[in-house]
A and B are shown apart, each in its own frame.
Chain A
């Protein structure tokens, strides 16, 4: 018989609240200090272009990881066994390294007044339409991503404080609002760097502790091999978890990326493209100073160590499945298997590890959510209003930005309230595919490919957004698109084809206008 799921003792609640308070205080203080040093709002957003490789490396780790990696991956390992590893991101390091190589060129655009990714696109394509469309795409996709952050935070809060899930959601929304109102919001490079260090240390520690707690690698492999899949809610099946694919029954089962080898191959490409495609990720390079070759190599081990963190959180889920079997799949609706990491942190590490883990989830989720809310609000003011009315007063724009924070906190909150995703990381993968498919090409490739045109970029964004709506769990089933792998293939490689074909078929940006962005190599 499986050992009981741990009860949450009062000292755990106290420890978690203390750790979260400490983390938020440090983040807010760091944000405040950086804001005091900055001479303008723009300077605060991206610094003075003087951020070194260490802080940039850890900041990249922090923005990449967010709630899916530090928290949701345990739910994937727990619910799907080995086949969950395709979304856990076992190949994450390849994508982050590619982002390191491609993203560094973002620095070039700072000299032309660029402070955000859509602004970079306006400069690259000399088009306000591209800027506005990119802003719109970011809003749509970041709202989806924000839902995941809410679920991560609310789950930790629910389990460790014994508060009902929906009360926890409200509590976390208030926390984000407080975090924003006291100025901890943009996740400046330094704050993100601090969070990246925290996430990496806690992720590795929890993963190793869980591995030992469950009896070691052989014990886990043996246990996963004997278990079968259970749906969120508790319906058991005879489908074994022993393989790297999980043949769930069609049509609903086809929406799982690990259902067959088409899905898993596409998932590998998603991880290859998404680190560069995440606008909040590649924007980290806007504040980076000039880096030497040696410093470039210094960043790689940081990204490797940080990029392995999602794997350790996946190990936590596999360990929890080994110890508790499928019992979590039927408890705590709508949390289900996503609670694996929290319970495992309590069982494997007691109060200290459970508290640190809770603080890390908040580090990842609050900062990402606050950063995304800020980005979406800025998309409205900078990419739409200021774009259409360049003479609008900065004071009014700032006031409007603050006002726009409220709807962008409320919309994903309402979504999580009315329709919380049963398995967080699986849900967030939908947005990740779209960001990878659209922005890897429109932002990443466009910095290197002179022949890219604004029509290529516009078509890619429109196509990518349309396909996003046709996700198998959204409207795809109405047009026969049940299979996640075919959907993601159509989105990413369709976006790539459209980007290149339309760019080549339309008038190129004149060479003399591109000279400043593509100077001849020395």
Chain B
């Protein structure tokens, strides 16, 4: 599996974990945990764009 596939897998995990932590944790851990997962997703998507799919004009 290439590095980019690994990063994409982590991004998918960030989405899958959203309802899972809501079910398992609840309260503030879920509330801010969702934000943390979203931030990790955001950093990865920008990293993939700039590292692998950057478009020079």
Contacts and interface: CB of A to CB of B under 8 A. Distances in A.
Q: Give the dominant DSSP class at B's interface.
A: helix
Given A94-B14, A94-B38, A94-B41, A85 B31 contact: yes
A93 B22 contact: no
Given A268-B18, A308-B35, A98 B45 contact: yes
Interface string B2-34: 000000000000110011001100111011101
A39 interface: no
A58 B49 CA distance: 20
A85 B35 contact: no
Contacts, number: 91
Interface in A94-112: 94-98, 100-101, 105
Interface string A73-102: 000000000100100001111111110110
Contacts of B30: 82, 85, 244
A7 interface: no
Contact of B28 (A221, A300, A307): A221
A251 B21 CA distance: 28
A296 interface: yes
Contacts of B45: 94, 97-98, 101
A167 interface: no
What band does the interface of chain B fall in when counting residues whose beta carbon is under 8 Å from A? 20 to 34
B2 to A, nearest CB: 18
Nearest to A107: B57
Contacts of A296: 46, 49-50
Given A221-B27, A221-B28, A264-B19, A90 B38 contact: yes
A297 B47 CA distance: 8
A304 B42 contact: yes
A311 B45 CA distance: 21
Nearest to A318: B31
Interface residues of chain A: helix, strand, loop or mixed (majority): helix
Interface residues of A, number: 39
A391 interface: no
B39 to A, nearest CB: 5
A513 to B, nearest CB: 20
A242 B25 CA distance: 12
A217 B42 contact: no
Interface string A236-278: 0000001111000000000000000100110010001000000
Contacts of B43: 97, 300
Contacts of A293: 50, 54
Interface in A202-232: 217, 221, 225
A101 B45 CA distance: 7
A521 interface: yes
Given A244-B26, A290-B57, A300-B43, 13 more contacts: A82-B30, A85-B34, A90-B38, A94-B42, A94-B45, A97-B38, A101-B49, A244-B23, A244-B30, A245-B22, A265-B19, A311-B35, A521-B55
16 contacts: A82-B31, A90-B32, A90-B38, A94-B41, A94-B42, A97-B45, A242-B26, A244-B22, A244-B26, A245-B22, A261-B23, A264-B22, A300-B42, A308-B35, A311-B32, A522-B56
Interface of B: 14-15, 18-19, 22-23, 26-28, 30-32, 34-35, 37-39, 41-43, 45-46, 48-50, 54-57
Interface of A: 82, 85, 90-98, 100-101, 105, 217, 221, 225, 242-245, 261, 264-265, 268, 272, 290, 293, 296-297, 300, 303-304, 307-308, 311, 314, 521-522
